[in-house]
Amino acid sequence: MFFYIFLIVFLLNTIWDTVLSIWNVNYSSRKTTVPEVLRDRFSEEYLKNSSMYLKDVTMVNVILNLINTLISLIFIFWGFTYFENFVLKITDSLILQGLFFFGIIWIIYKILSLPTEIYRNFVIEARYGFNTMTPKIFVSDFLKSLLVTAILFIPLISFLLWILETDNNWWWKISIFFVGFQLLMLLIYPLYLAPLFNKFTPLKDEKLKEKIKDILKKASINISEIYVMDASKRTKKKNAFLTGMGKSRRLVLFDTILNYPEEEILAIIAHELGHYKYKHIPKLLGLNLIFYTFVFYLVNLVYNYLAKGNIFNVSQPYSLFVYSFLFIESLIFFMLPLLNYLQRKFEYQADEFSAKVIGSKYMISSLKRIIKENLINLNPLPLYKIWHFNHPSPEERIKKLLQFSE
């Protein structure tokens, strides 16, 4: 009975996500009117271009999702059992068995998803003038990501396997460790990981730097240096972000954004600083602790249930964990609207901070510029927006910002 429940929940996840994505494309393509608050910068021609971009990107994402689902089904019916038996013949060490088991599965997923990633970058993104990445950089990024992932996850998986072997009620230990791992990533990502892929140089524009430091001082935010990232090596898209914590905290600007008017750059930066001012990072960490504690508690329940039977013809902790996690992950997918709602509230707060510090007209102007240059969809399906958007839609953000200028 559980086997069929497992399959229904797992497939329902993929079916719903696919239907929602295609529905969003059809809904957006039928919307031929620019929202009123955006008509000063956007035309119907823009809607056509953004709809075409949305359609192409969605097609790639749907295909990738279906490929991953097909691979997962092969693993569920046959692969996990086969690879469990395979690693059992290699070594008697449970930790080594688990590392081989997870490593093989991970490599298969990476290799089979590689063609769609290549198509996304060198066909879709290139078609709309975004991609600036060379094949050499793509291969280098791919190999570096494999190496970094292996270095980071070998100790993580080893700890997981050790806990699974020594304690039947492991959910709370793994939850604490997982959130601790996220904290570690916040600390080391800006200093050691991000520089492996991009070059970060201190902002050279002294006039702009002084104005940014003035905002930092007024907001009582301590960030020692502002960096520029060579994003133009990979994309023409624009962005800025605040990353890290403590001494590793960094305010980073894409080099593609430096040609914006100064006040718009300051508005974007003020938005990122708003996340810090309202303590969104520690709040998200707290939410993650609650969320993942709940997730791993449920995974632990299913794990113990599966360990008592022989539902999937597996018996080792790593195999049982994978089946348990896949099942709960499929259920948790239906909690995404709540998590995204909370993050959208954070984005509104960050926009409000920018409006107070720089002025809403500059935040509105910068948003419209980013929306236009990144071909962002102006008319998302409301249900898709609720399910997938962790940022408010362009129309919602502009309307909210206009309230601050009244």
Known binding residues for Zn(2+): 271, 275, 347
Q: What's the rounded Cα separation, in Å, for the pair 131 and 235?
A: 5
Residue 141, exposed/middle/buried by CB under 10 A (0-12, 13-18, 19+)? middle
Rounded Cα distance between 133 and 26, Å, is 30
H helix or E strand, kind and range, residue 264:
helix 262-277
The rounded distance, in Å, linking the Cα atoms of 164 and 101 is: 15
| Residue whose token pair is 């088991």 | 101
Helix (H) or strand (E) holding 240: strand 240-243
Catalytic residue among 17, 56, 264, 272: 272
Residue 248 DSSP class:
G
Q: Which amino acids are annotated as binding site, given as ranges?
A: 271, 275, 347
Q: Counting every residue, how long is the chain?
A: 406
Catalytic-residue membership of 329: no
Distance CA 34, CA 45 (A): 10
Phi (first) and psi of residue 236, to 5 degrees:
-100, 0
Selecting among 17, 56, 264, 351, the annotated active-site residue is 351
Q: Are 271 and 280 in contact (CB under 8 A)?
A: no
Are the C-beta atoms of 269 and 251 separated by less than 8 Å?
yes
Strands 250-254 and 240-243, sheet pairing:
antiparallel
Q: Which two tokens stand for residue 74?
A: 């092969």
Q: Is residue 373 flagged as an active site residue?
A: no
Q: Which long-range contacts (C-beta less than 8 Å, at least 24 apart) are formed by 61-64?
A: 61/21, 62/18, 62/21, 62/22, 63/116, 64/113, 64/116, 64/117
Q: Would you name the residues annotated as active-site residues?
A: 272, 351
